């Protein structure tokens, strides 16, 4: 199986931007139920700027630099809780592969783990707090346990498990983020960040399958 190059990641990021646009109103609606109804909008604002930045990205930007650019752009443009969380996710993921022009599947798993670690370091949430970590954490475990011989299958399982994790947020009482103030009233609603995160990660799969 071939390694992942810069063009692959750029294509993934463009696909993420489309995903953010397509799901904007859905994420916003989910956030309206238990948050402040801006999640989809802010992700859309952020990824619109990501596309602008990618359109002008210097040819000599490597993979780490591309991830940094995306992370910084989200950090600058998204705001709220998800701006710093998604921002450091991408920045830290990229920092794992400094100076590489291609990354292996194992590198990619390391990158995603580093990204998720940084979400946890910044946001201090635990599994079961009804946040995007409820998608990422079980998903990553599956990804890391998967057979490295078939990255496509492994990433597909990863995203499927993330989606399952997002479904599993529905019955939870929120313990972090804006929804935490709702207490029991957050039960019965999906966490918006858990939804956006599996849908964004799904872009790795879709771009591979293309």
Ligand X SMILES: Nc1ncnc2c1ncn2[C@@H]1O[C@H](COP(=O)(O)OP(=O)(O)O)[C@@H](O)[C@H]1O
The footprint of Mg ion (CB under 5 A) covers: 31, 35-36, 38-39, 80
Q: With CB cut-offs between 5 and 8 Å by kind, which of Mg ion, ligand X, other proteins, none does residue 28 bind?
A: other proteins
List of residues contacting ligand X (CB under 6 A): 31, 35-36, 38-39, 42, 80-82, 85, 119, 123-125, 131-133, 176-178, 191-194
* Least distance (Å) between residue 8 CB and ligand X: 27
* Least distance (Å) between residue 43 CB and other proteins: 11
* Least distance (Å) between residue 157 CB and other proteins: 31
CB 89 within 8 A of CB 131: no
Residues 6+ apart with CB under 8 A from 78: 42, 43, 45, 46, 86, 87
Q: Which is nearer to Mg ion, 82 or 156 (CB)?
A: 82
Q: With CB cut-offs between 5 and 8 Å by kind, which of Mg ion, ligand X, other proteins, none does residue 182 bind?
A: other proteins
Q: Which is nearer to ligand X, 48 or 178 (CB)?
A: 178
CA-to-CA distance for 12 and 7, rounded, in angstroms? 8
CA-to-CA distance for 202 and 19, rounded, in angstroms? 9
CA-to-CA distance for 7 and 120, rounded, in angstroms? 29
* Least distance (Å) between residue 17 CB and ligand X: 16
Q: Which is nearer to ligand X, 68 or 189 (CB)?
A: 189
Helix (H) or strand (E) holding 5: strand 4-5
Q: With CB cut-offs between 5 and 8 Å by kind, which of other proteins, ligand X, Mg ion, none does residue 194 bind?
A: ligand X
CA-to-CA distance for 117 and 122, rounded, in angstroms? 9
List of residues contacting other proteins (CB under 8 A): 24-25, 28, 32-38, 41-42, 44-45, 48, 75-85, 122-123, 176-179, 181-183, 185
Query: Using CA of residue 172, residue 37, residue 89, residue 142, what is the dihedral sign?
Result: positive
Q: Write the CA distances from 36 to 3, 105, 124, 166, integer angstroms.
A: 40, 37, 21, 19
């Amino acid at each position: 199986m071939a390694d992942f190059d810069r063009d692959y990641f750029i294509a993934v990021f463009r696909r993420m931007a489309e995903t953010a646009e397509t799901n904007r109103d859905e994420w916003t609606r989910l956030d309206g139920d238990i948050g402040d109804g801006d999640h989809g909008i802010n992700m859309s604002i952020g990824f619109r700027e990501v596309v602008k930045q990618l359109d002008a990205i210097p040819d000599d930007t490597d993979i780490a630099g591309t991830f940094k650019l995306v992370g910084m752009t989200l950090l600058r443009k998204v705001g709220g809780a998800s701006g710093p969380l998604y921002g450091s996710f991408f920045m830290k993921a990229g920092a794992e592969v400094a100076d590489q022009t291609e990354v292996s599947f194992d590198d990619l798993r390391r990158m995603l783990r580093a990204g998720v670690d940084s979400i946890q370091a910044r946001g201090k949430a635990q599994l079961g707090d009804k946040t995007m970590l409820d998608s990422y954490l079980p998903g990553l475990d599956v990804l890391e346990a998967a057979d490295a011989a078939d990255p496509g299958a492994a990433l597909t399982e990863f995203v499927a498990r993330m989606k399952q994790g997002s479904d599993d947020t529905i019955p939870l009482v929120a313990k972090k983020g804006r929804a935490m103030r709702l207490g029991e009233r957050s039960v019965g609603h999906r966490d918006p960040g858990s939804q956006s995160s599996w849908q964004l990660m799904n872009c790795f799969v879709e771009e591979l399958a293309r």
